C-alpha cells in the first residue's frame, strides 16, 4: 500500500468540477484544510455561495473519489458555506449589515420579474442564506401579496428612525405597499419616487443578511439609474421572455447596468415553453431560444429557463410562491439552481475584479 500525501488528494480533487463555479475545488480556492493520518484523509472545503441543498451530495462525490485513491481506507469531506460581503456596503446607512445586494430587473413589465425575485429570495433562504427582499417597484408593489402579508400590515418603527422589515416565509420583506393604501395608486413624479425609494433603502433596519434581493421597477429610467448609482449592487439578474419585443427591452436593461458598472450575473427566461395539462404537448408560445441568444450576445449566462405554468402564477397570487408551496417540485428545483448560480456568479465577479494597486514608498 502506497503512502498518501496532500498532493495526491489535491490531484483527485482537481478531477471534479464545481458545476456553479465551473472550476475544480483546488483552482477555485475552496480548500481550507487537508489532513492525512495514515490511511485516513480529512478535507475541509469552503464555498462562497449559499449551497445548503447541494453541499452534502458534492461532499459525498468528492469523498468517494478520495476513497478510490490507492492507500486510502476512509475519507471525510466537510463543506461550509461562507458568504463574503460585497464592497462599499458600510457606506450606505441601513445596508451596513447586508453583505450582497442583487437587483432583479426587466426592460418591460409583464415578464414575471417580481415572481422571479420572490422565488429567488426564497430559494437563497432555503440554501441556508439569510435573505431580505426590497420591493422597489414603487408604482406596482406586489411582494407583500406574494409573501402572504395581510393588507394593511405596517412595519414597526425602531428608534423613531428605522422601518423594521416584516418577516414572512423566512425572508425579511420591505415594500412601499406597507406604507400606503393598497387601493391608492402612486401618482408621483420621478424625483418623488426616487426619494421614496432611497428612503426605503437607507432607513430600513435590515438584519444580518447574506443577500438582499431588490425587485426593481420595469424599464431603464430615472428610478433605475438612481438605485444603480446610489446602492452598491453586487450584480443584476435580467428577466425576459423569449418574445422579440421583450428581448429588445431586456437588451436595454443589460446596457444600462453595464453603463453604471454593475455586473450582469445572467438572464432568466420566463414563459419559455407551455406544456399542455391534458395531452403533454410542448409549445413555445412566445418564441424559442430568445433568452439563450440574449445571454450569448452579451457574454453572460442563461441562469434559468422556466415554463409558462398556471401553478407558478396561482402560488404567487396565493401568498406562497413556488419554492415555498412545492419545495420538492420540478419548478422549485429550477429556482434552487438559479439561486446557486446567482451566488456563485457573485463570487466569480468578485474574484475577477481588478485588485487595488499596492503603493510602496522607498528612499531611492
Q: Where are the domains of the chain?
A: 6-81, 89-351
Which of 106, 55, 33, 93 is CA-nearest to residue 252? 106
Rounded Cα–Cα distance for residues 209 and 342 (Å): 16
pTM of the model: 0.89
* Rounded distance between C-alpha atoms, residue 332 and residue 320, angstroms: 12
pLDDT value of residue 287: 45
Per-residue pLDDT of the chain (364 residues; tens, 9 = 90+): 467 889 999 999 999 999 999 999 999 999 999 999 989 999 999 999 999 999 999 999 999 999 999 989 999 999 999 999 876 555 676 688 899 999 998 876 778 889 999 999 999 999 999 999 999 877 778 898 999 998 888 899 988 889 999 999 999 999 988 877 655 555 555 566 677 778 888 889 999 999 999 998 877 667 777 777 788 889 999 888 776 565 667 777 788 888 888 888 988 988 765 555 555 545 444 445 555 666 667 677 788 888 877 788 888 888 899 999 999 999 999 999 999 999 999 999 877 765 444 444 445 4
Q: Per the annotation, does 55 bind a ligand?
A: no
Nearest 5°: phi and psi at 292?
-65, -40
- Angstrom CA distances, 45 to 69, 144, 208, 321, stand at 19, 38, 23, 32
**Nearest alpha-carbon partner for 45 in 74, 68, 75:** 75
* Model pLDDT, residue 90: 53
Q: Strand 166-168 vs strand 31-37: parallel, antiparallel, or unpaired?
A: unpaired
189: Cβ contacts below 8 Å, ≥ 6 apart: none
Helices vs strands, H then E, count in the chain: 11, 15
Grid coordinates belonging to 275: 406544456
Q: Binding residue per annotation — 152? A: no
The enclosing H or E element of 191 equals: helix 190-202
pLDDT of residue 278: 58
Secondary structure (3-state) at 34: strand
Is there a binding annotation on residue 108?
yes
Using DSSP, state whether 46 is helix, strand or coil.
strand
Confirm if 6 and 34 have CB atoms less than 8 A apart. yes
C-alpha–C-alpha distance, residues 30 and 93, integer Å = 32
Written out in words, the top-level CATH class of the domain with range 89-351 is alpha beta
Is residue 71 a known part of a binding site? no
Helix (H) or strand (E) holding 303: strand 301-305
Element (H, E) at 336: helix 330-352
Fold of 6-81: GMP Synthetase; Chain A, domain 3 (3.30.300)
Beta bridge partners of 168: 171
114 among the known binding-site residues? yes
Annotated ligand binding at 112? The verdict is yes
Q: Would you state the pLDDT for residue 25?
A: 96
Q: How far apart are CA 344 and CA 129, in angstroms?
A: 13
Does 161 appear as a known binding residue? no
Per the CB < 8 A criterion, the answer to whether 322 and 315 are in contact is: yes
329 known ligand binder: no
| 167 within 8 A of 148, measured Cβ to Cβ | no
Residue 100, classified by CB atoms within 10 Å of its CB into exposed (0-12), middle (13-18) or buried (19+), is: buried
Tell me the β-bridge partners of 40.
Answer: 37, 74
Are the CB atoms for 102 and 265 separated by under 8 Å?
Answer: yes
Amino acid at each position: 500500500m502506497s503512502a498518501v500525501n496532500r498532493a495526491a488528494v489535491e490531484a483527485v480533487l482537481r478531477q471534479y468540477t464545481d458545476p456553479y463555479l465551473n472550476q475544480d475545488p483546488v483552482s477555485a480556492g475552496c480548500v481550507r484544510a487537508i489532513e492525512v493520518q495514515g490511511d485516513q484523509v480529512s478535507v475541509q472545503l469552503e464555498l462562497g455561495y449559499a449551497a445548503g441543498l447541494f453541499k452534502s451530495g458534492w461532499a459525498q462525490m468528492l469523498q468517494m473519489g478520495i476513497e478510490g485513491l490507492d492507500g486510502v481506507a476512509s475519507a471525510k469531506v466537510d463543506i461550509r458555506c461562507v458568504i463574503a460581503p460585497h464592497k462599499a456596503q458600510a457606506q450606505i446607512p441601513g445596508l451596513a449589515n447586508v453583505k450582497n445586494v442583487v437587483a432583479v430587473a426587466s426592460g418591460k413589465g409583464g415578464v414575471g420579474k417580481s415572481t422571479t425575485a420572490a422565488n429567488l429570495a426564497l430559494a437563497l433562504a432555503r440554501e441556508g442564506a439569510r435573505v431580505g427582499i426590497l420591493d422597489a417597484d414603487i408604482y406596482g408593489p406586489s411582494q407583500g401579496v406574494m409573501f402572504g402579508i395581510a393588507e394593511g400590515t405596517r412595519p414597526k418603527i425602531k428608534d423613531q428612525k428605522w422601518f423594521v422589515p416584516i418577516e414572512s416565509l423566512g425572508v425579511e420583506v420591505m415594500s412601499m405597499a406597507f406604507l400606503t393604501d393598497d387601493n391608492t395608486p402612486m401618482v408621483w413624479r420621478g424625483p418623488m419616487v426616487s426619494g421614496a425609494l432611497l428612503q426605503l433603502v437607507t432607513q430600513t433596519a435590515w438584519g444580518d443578511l447574506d443577500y438582499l434581493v431588490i425587485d426593481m421597477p420595469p424599464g431603464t429610467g430615472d428610478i433605475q439609474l438612481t438605485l444603480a448609482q446610489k446602492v452598491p449592487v453586487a450584480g443584476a439578474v435580467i428577466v425576459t421572455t423569449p418574445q422579440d419585443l421583450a428581448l429588445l427591452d431586456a437588451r436595454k436593461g443589460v446596457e444600462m447596468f453595464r453603463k453604471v458598472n454593475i455586473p450582469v450575473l445572467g438572464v432568466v427566461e420566463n414563459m419559455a415553453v407551455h406544456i399542455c395539462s391534458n395531452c403533454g404537448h410542448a409549445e413555445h408560445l412566445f418564441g424559442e431560444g430568445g433568452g439563450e441568444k440574449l445571454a450569448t450576445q452579451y457574454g453572460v449566462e442563461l441562469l434559468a429557463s422556466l415554463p409558462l405554468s398556471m401553478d407558478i402564477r396561482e402560488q404567487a397570487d396565493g401568498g406562497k410562491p413556488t419554492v415555498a408551496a412545492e419545495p420538492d417540485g420540478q419548478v422549485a428545483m429550477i429556482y434552487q439552481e438559479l439561486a446557486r448560480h446567482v451566488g456563485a456568479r457573485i463570487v466569480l465577479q468578485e474574484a475577477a475584479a481588478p485588485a487595488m494597486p499596492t503603493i510602496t514608498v522607498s528612499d531611492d
